[in-house]
Amino acid sequence: MSGLKSYIMKNKQMFTFLVAVLLCAAILIPIIVKQTSKDKTIIIRSNRDFRKYNLPGSGTSIDPYIIENNTIKTSNDYAILIADVTEYFIVRNNNLQAATASISISLVASNRTQLINNTCTNSNIGIYISNSPGCYIFGNNCSNNFIDGIQVESSGYEDTSSYCTIANNTCINNVENSIVIWETPYTLLENNTCIMPNKNVIQIYHKCGIVLFKSGNAIVRNNVIINTGIQFGNHPVYLITSIIEDNLINGKEFGLFYNTKNLTIDSSNYGQLYFFNCSDIEIRDQNIIDNYTPLELENCTNIQIVNSSFNYNYKYGIVLRGCHDILIENTESSYNYMGAYVWYSTNVTIDSCIFTNNYLGCFVDQSTYTLTDNIFSDNEEDFIEV
């Protein structure tokens, strides 16, 4: 009888223990799920909206609101949208995915925004900033998006998103560009990693590591760019007012030259070359591949490009804008979107060159030129003049 009693007591204890475990699981599992998974978007369109989400912080500079540790994967336009606010906030350590942008920041007062260590993938744009000066964008992973990794713009007003810091971000395998800065001066771009797939077939040509369009007084330094390059849009004054230094393109220097005379470039040190207002330059024995535009000359005179190859680049092989007395000789520009683009240039001679397997072999716009003994083959269009 005592053995039966002992058996019953033992089983009763086991049953009590199991019930306790199940009760704990019933309480804890929903809490864990709630903390790590969140399908609902966070939409903040006024200072009052911060308080709807019971966020830690009070919105001051020393006690900002904090949005963190959320997983939001939604078919809606935005995972996190913040607009028309003047209070301070930090968005950090979130895993985000949405249709239009993982994070969208617009019309936010100066120096209020900090975006830190977020993962923003599989959206059209990972992080989108508009008309919000002084944003701090640090340590985010904006990869595998369908357009751009990070895009900062001022909607035509050059002071409305100025003084942004974009540093230590990773942008890998976005369909178009890694980082786009559009009409946004005084931007710091530092220590970012921008990687595209190898350009081994003709693909969409908007694939750039860093795009700097009408954004003067920028600092672009210590960025690592692989399988693409840097694009400078609009007037070169926006480029020459900026500091561009110590960037690596496919493990090599970005060669930026302006107001330079009497120079020979014959080393293999460069992953991309850009010349502005230069004269009496010889560029020879270069082999630059897997870039956006490996060689670009603007407002240059008396330039020789000899015995070089510029193949497998996303957009152009060679670009001439407003140049005069240019010789391109014994050079190949193949497997690009456009082998050569010549715009408003005079006395351009292209001799004994090869243009194959481009979408456009050579495009000449409002220029005077001479073509001799060149090979054009397997381009969608060999030569266009307008």
Q: What is the CATH number of the domain that holds 331?
A: 2.160.20.10
Query: In angstroms, rounded to a whole number, what is the distance separating the alpha carbons of residues 101 and 80?
Result: 8
| Domain end point (choices 214, 249, 284) | 249
> Which of 80-84, 236-240, 356-360, 381-385 is predicted with the least confidence, judged by mean pLDDT?
236-240
Do 361 and 259 belong together in one domain? yes
Domain around 296: 253-386
Sheet holding 148-153, edge to edge: 42-44, 78-83, 101-106, 125-130, 148-153, 177-182, 210-213, 230-233
Question: Residue 233 has what pLDDT?
Answer: 76
The verdict on residue 1 lying in a domain is: no
Amino acid sitting at position 176: E
Residues 239 and 129 in one domain: yes
74 and 53 fall within a common domain: yes
User: Do 155 and 66 sit in the same domain of this protein?
Assistant: yes
Could you give the 3-state DSSP secondary structure of residue 235?
coil
pLDDT (0 to 100) of residue 199: 67
Domain termination residue (choose one: 202, 226, 249): 249
Whether residues 185 and 163 share a domain: the answer is yes
pLDDT for the residue numbered 15: 40
Please indicate, yes or no, whether residues 236 and 328 belong to a single structural domain of this protein. Answer: no
Q: Do 206 and 257 belong to one domain?
A: no
> Does 321 reside within a domain?
yes
* Co-location of 217 and 344 in the same domain: no
Encode pLDDT of 180-196 as tens digits: 999 898 999 999 999 99
**Domain total for the chain?**
2
Whether residue 34 is contained in a domain is answered as no
Answer whether residue 119 is part of any domain: yes
* Mean pLDDT across 268-280: 96
Task: Answer yes or no: is 297 within a domain.
Answer: yes
DSSP letters spanning 115-129 = EES-EE-SSSEEEEE
Share of the chain above pLDDT 90, in %: 79
In the predicted model, what is the mean pLDDT of residues 204-210? 80
Residues 134/111, Cβ–Cβ less than 8 Å: yes
Q: Is residue 3 part of a domain?
A: no
Q: Quick: pLDDT tens for 299-319.
A: 999 999 999 999 999 999 999
CA distance 276 to 255: 11
Q: Do 98 and 238 fall into the same domain?
A: yes
Say yes or no: 214 and 167 in one domain: yes
Same domain for 233 and 307? no
Q: Which segment of 5-14, 145-154, 302-311, 323-332 scores lowest on mean pLDDT?
A: 5-14
Which residue, 117, 118, 123, is CA-closest to 76?
A: 123
Beta-bridge partners for 263? 281
Whole-number pLDDT of residue 38: 54
Mean pLDDT along residues 131-143: 97
pLDDT given for residue 39 in this prediction: 63
Please check whether residues 242 and 263 belong to one and the same domain.
Answer: no
Q: How buried is residue 62: exposed, middle or buried, by Cβ count under 10 Å (0-12/13-18/19+)?
A: exposed
